[in-house]
Amino acid sequence: MGWGPSAVKAVVRLGVMATTDKEDDVFVDSITLFVGLLCGCIVVGHFLENTRWLNESVTSLIIGLCTGGTILFLSGGRSSRILEFDEELFFIYLLPPIIFNAGFQVKRKRFFRNIITIMLFGAVGTLISFGIISFGAKELFGKLNIGDLELQDYLAIGAIFSATDSVCTLQVLNQDDTPFIYSVVFGEGVVNDATSIVLFNAIQKFDLSQVDSEIALQFVGNFLTLFVTSTLLGVVVGLLSAYIIKKLYFGRHSTDREVSLMMLMAYLSYVMAELFDMSGILTVFFCGIVMSHYTWHNVTQKSRVTTRHAFATISFISETFIFLYVGMDALDIEKWMFVSDSPGKSAGASAILLGLLMLGRAAFVFPLSFLSNCTKKLESDRIEFKQQVTIWWAGLMRGAVSMALAYNQFARRGHTRLPGNAIMITSTITIVLFSTMVFGLLTKPLITWLLPSSGHGSNAGSPKSFSRPLLEQEPGLDAVMSTTNIHRPSSLRMMFETPANTVHYYWRKFDNSFMRPAFGGRGFVPFIPGSPDGSPTERNMP
When asked if residue 335 is in the footprint of a copy of itself (CB under 8 A), the reply is: no
Binder to a copy of itself among 143, 212, 275, 483 (CB under 8 A)? 275
Residue ranges of alpha helices (H) inside 376-394 are 385-394
Residue 294 C-beta: closest distance to a copy of itself, Å = 17
Please, which of residues 233-262 interact with a copy of itself by CB under 8 A?
A: 244, 248-249, 252-257, 259-261
Distance CA 43, CA 461 (A): 14
Please, which of residues 282-311 interact with a copy of itself by CB under 8 A?
A: 301-303, 305-306, 308-310
Q: Quick one: 310 or 358, whose CB is closer to a copy of itself?
A: 310
Distance CA 540, CA 269 (A): 33
State the Rg of the chain over Cα.
24
Residue 358 C-beta: closest distance to a copy of itself, Å = 27
When asked if residue 217 is in the footprint of a copy of itself (CB under 8 A), the reply is: no
Q: Label residue 370 left, alpha or beta by phi (over 0 means left) and psi (-120 to 50 means alpha).
A: alpha
Q: Which residues contact 522 (CB under 8 A, 6 or more apart)?
A: 297, 516, 534, 535, 536
Q: Quick one: 309 or 376, whose CB is closer to a copy of itself?
A: 309
Q: Quick one: 205 or 376, whose CB is closer to a copy of itself?
A: 205
CA distances from 171 to 53, 249, 324, 383, 462 (A): 12, 38, 17, 21, 11
When asked if residue 209 is in the footprint of a copy of itself (CB under 8 A), the reply is: no
To 10 degrees, what angle do helices 343-375 and 419-434 make?
60
Binder to a copy of itself among 139, 150, 277, 341 (CB under 8 A)? 277
When asked if residue 20 is in the footprint of a copy of itself (CB under 8 A), the reply is: yes
Please, which of residues 450-469 interact with a copy of itself by CB under 8 A?
A: 460-463, 465, 468
Please, which of residues 461-520 interact with a copy of itself by CB under 8 A?
A: 461-463, 465, 468, 471
When asked if residue 155 is in the footprint of a copy of itself (CB under 8 A), the reply is: no
Distance CA 373, CA 349 (A): 36
Distance CA 47, CA 57 (A): 14
Q: Where are the beta strands (DSSP E) in 41-178?
A: none
Binder to a copy of itself among 61, 83, 99, 149 (CB under 8 A)? 83
When asked if residue 268 is in the footprint of a copy of itself (CB under 8 A), the reply is: yes
Amino acid at 399: G
Length of the chain: 542
Q: Label residue 521 left, alpha or beta by phi (over 0 means left) and psi (-120 to 50 means alpha).
A: left
Residue 97 CB-half CA count within 13 A: 23
Residue 149 C-beta: closest distance to a copy of itself, Å = 19
Q: Cα–chain-centroid distance for residue 539?
A: 31
Please, which of residues 310-329 interact with a copy of itself by CB under 8 A?
A: 310, 312-313, 316-317, 320
When asked if residue 265 is in the footprint of a copy of itself (CB under 8 A), the reply is: yes
Residue 327 C-beta: closest distance to a copy of itself, Å = 14
Amino acid at 83: L
Q: Are 44 and 63 in contact (CB under 8 A)?
A: yes
411 to 450: interface string for a copy of itself, x by CB under 8 A: -x--------------------------------------
- Run of H or E including 516: helix 516-519
Please, which of residues 372-411 interact with a copy of itself by CB under 8 A?
A: 408
Binder to a copy of itself among 48, 81, 342, 497 (CB under 8 A)? 81
CA distances from 443 to 172, 459, 484 (A): 7, 17, 35
Residue 360 C-beta: closest distance to a copy of itself, Å = 23
132 to 151: interface string for a copy of itself, x by CB under 8 A: --------------------
Task: Report which of 314, 325, 281, 394 is spatially closest to residue 57, judged by C-alpha positions.
Answer: 325
176 to 205: interface string for a copy of itself, x by CB under 8 A: ---------------------xx-xxx-xx
Q: Quick one: 18 or 495, whose CB is closer to a copy of itself?
A: 18
When asked if residue 228 is in the footprint of a copy of itself (CB under 8 A), the reply is: no
CA distances from 455 to 313, 364, 461 (A): 24, 25, 16
